[in-house]
Amino acid sequence: MPYSLKKSVEHKGTVQFRIRANKTKTREVPDMYEDKTLICKDCGNEFVFTAGEQEFYAEKGFQNEPQRCKACRVARKNAAKPEREFFIATCAKCGGEAKVPFRPTEGRDVYCSNCFAQMKEEQDG
């Protein structure tokens, strides 16, 4: 049956063409990045958004470019962290300044970090 044979070959050709068309369409993402100079929103200084950083941003799926230079970003990150509150008390052992992360309660001895470490060492040993 020569007729049906010819038809199936034609069909195969169409499928091959469609696969090739899809392959070219996925190559839209540029794989080359160039260093870019941006202006920091906080300090107004220029900073470089490097090719490596751009690649990193693209990998993470970030849509926006960085708004701040590295120094300002670090400063903001540190500022966002809630600062630990310290209380100043008098060390019961050496009489020096004892910085403690809790409010010293009356009648309870507070030790400076030096004395505290010393006492802990004695306890452990």
- Residues of this chain that bind Zn ion (CB under 5 A): 40, 42-43, 69, 72, 91, 93-94, 96, 112, 115
Choose among 111, 120, 118: nearest CA to 90.
Answer: 111
Nearer to Zn ion, 72 or 89 (CB): 72
Tracing tokens 């230079």 back to the chain, one arrives at 69
d(CA 34, CA 45): 20
Helix (H, G, I), strand (E, B) or coil at 1: coil
Q: How far is the CB of 84 from Zn ion (least distance, A)?
A: 20
Instruction: Specify the residue, 36 or 93, whose C-beta has the smaller distance to Zn ion.
Output: 93
Closer CB to Zn ion, 57 or 73, in the complex:
73
